[in-house]
Amino acid sequence: MTVRLTRRHALRSLVALPFAASLLHTGGEAARAAKKDPRWEKAMQRGLDWVARTQSPIRGNWTAGTYPTAMTALAGTALICSGSTTTQGPYAKNIRRAVDYLFTKCRSNGLIGDPQTDNRYTYGHGFSMLFLSQVLGEEQDEETRQLLIEALTKAVDFSAKSQTKAGGWGYVSAKDGNDFDEGSTTITQVQGLRGCRNAGIPVPSEVIDNAKKYIYECKNPDGGISYSSKSRGSSRPAITAAALAALYNAGDYDSEHVPQMLDYCQKTLGRITDEAQAFGHWHYTYLYYAQVIYRQGRKDWDPFRDKLYDKIVNEQNDEGHWAGNIGPIYVTSCNLIMLQLDKGFLPIFQR
């Protein structure tokens, strides 16, 4: 794979290694580790091929219910985790179509999505920022780069203006949602914003600082994160895992809150059973918790990965996808992102 590192990215990226260097170093080493069990590689390939086959050949999107923006961004992220870009690799055409589709969803106010048909459009907006920011790091066509930079700059501005007074985000912007916030959409915004910042898009530091404060304020005595600043109640394992991954993305490894949150997650999620189904969204939960453990290093990651990957592989169906709540493209994309963490191609997921 030929990698071209742009001057903008090299100067502004906050990743530990520049994009190209990290891709060549981490990707090569991790990709070899990912082949430890040939079943994992086979499952990845079958899943990626299924994702590519099920993309709309005309519009370039994937859909599940009424969330085509979110599903397209997630599916696109699963494909670029394989190492393909918009110009290179077996899924280049699919990734290009996904980018083109998301361009059609860019609104003049910066929102990437369709507020007329999607009553939870901040998910799609956050996932799109994440996907497009990773595409930007590898985009070689100058015209497309400028379109990406323009779209992501406006998207960051939209997220900043959509943040609630408490520092979080809700299913819609603060203005549209009466300043309501909740944990899962907040994490989606934080990770998307971090991806943009890594790719050289300016992100106001106060937006990230306020989001971190929001997470801290939602933490309960047991170390878990509650659903919302306005609806505290019991801790949510899924949101806690996602919040911890978002804090890592924001560079917060050492605050007093992180060890408590990590301990809570280890107690509730460490065994990789179906117990997470009791509080819903198993795949969402482990999509983020896998990122947390991956960043802990090989000593923690390897045994966790083996159990996680075996479970995922054993649940793949004959067609190459996975079933579950929300829809097969959602579950399959989540599983593929998890299965490809070891490849280390995307800066947002690297150690």
- A 10 A CB-CB count for 119 gives 12
Does residue 112 sit in helix, strand or coil? strand
**Signed CA dihedral, 90, 149, 59, 317: sign only:** positive
Domain contains 2:
no
- A 10 A CB-CB count for 68 gives 23
pLDDT on residue 20: 35
**Signed CA dihedral, 203, 197, 288, 49: sign only:** positive
314: domain CATH number is: 1.50.10.20
Give the span between the Cα atoms of 115 and 195, in whole angstroms. 23
Does residue 253 sit in helix, strand or coil? coil
* Gyration radius of the chain's alpha carbons: 18
Domain contains 31:
yes
Give the span between the Cα atoms of 271 and 170, in whole angstroms. 31
Q: Is the pTM of this model over 0.85?
A: yes
Instruction: Write out pLDDT tens, residues 138-174.
Output: 888 899 999 999 999 999 999 999 999 999 999 999 9
Task: Give me the helix-helix angle, 68-80 and 92-104, nearest 10°.
Answer: 150
Domain contains 100:
yes
pLDDT on residue 333: 97
Domain contains 91:
yes
Domain contains 1:
no
Please give the share of the chain, as a percent, with pLDDT higher than 90: 74
Query: Which are the contacts of 156, defined by CB distance < 8 A and separation ≥ 6?
Result: 110, 129, 193, 196, 201, 202, 203
pLDDT on residue 18: 31
What residue ranges of the chain have pLDDT lower than 70? 1-35, 65, 274-280
Give the span between the Cα atoms of 128 and 121, in whole angstroms. 11
Q: Do the Cβ atoms of 334 and 283 come closer than 8 Å?
A: yes
pLDDT on residue 15: 31
In the chain, what are the helix, strand and coil shares in percent, each to the nearest 5?
60, 0, 40
Domain contains 172:
yes
Give the span between the Cα atoms of 335 and 240, in whole angstroms. 19
Domain contains 16:
yes
Domain contains 210:
yes
Per the structure block, which two tokens stand in for 290?
């896998």
Give the span between the Cα atoms of 190 and 59, in whole angstroms. 28
**Containing structural domain, residue 22:** 7-349
pLDDT on residue 208: 95
Instruction: Write out pLDDT tens, residues 205-258.
Output: 999 999 999 999 999 999 999 999 887 788 999 999 999 999 998 888 878 899
Residue 38: closest CA among 270, 289, 313: 313
Backbone angles phi, psi at 40, to 5 degrees: -65, -45
pLDDT on residue 140: 83
Does residue 239 sit in helix, strand or coil? helix
Give the number of domains in the chain: 1
Give the span between the Cα atoms of 92 and 334, in whole angstroms. 20
pLDDT on residue 274: 65
Per the structure block, which two tokens stand in for 42?
């086979």
Per the structure block, which two tokens stand in for 73?
């961004």
Q: Do the Cβ atoms of 112 and 125 come closer than 8 Å?
A: yes
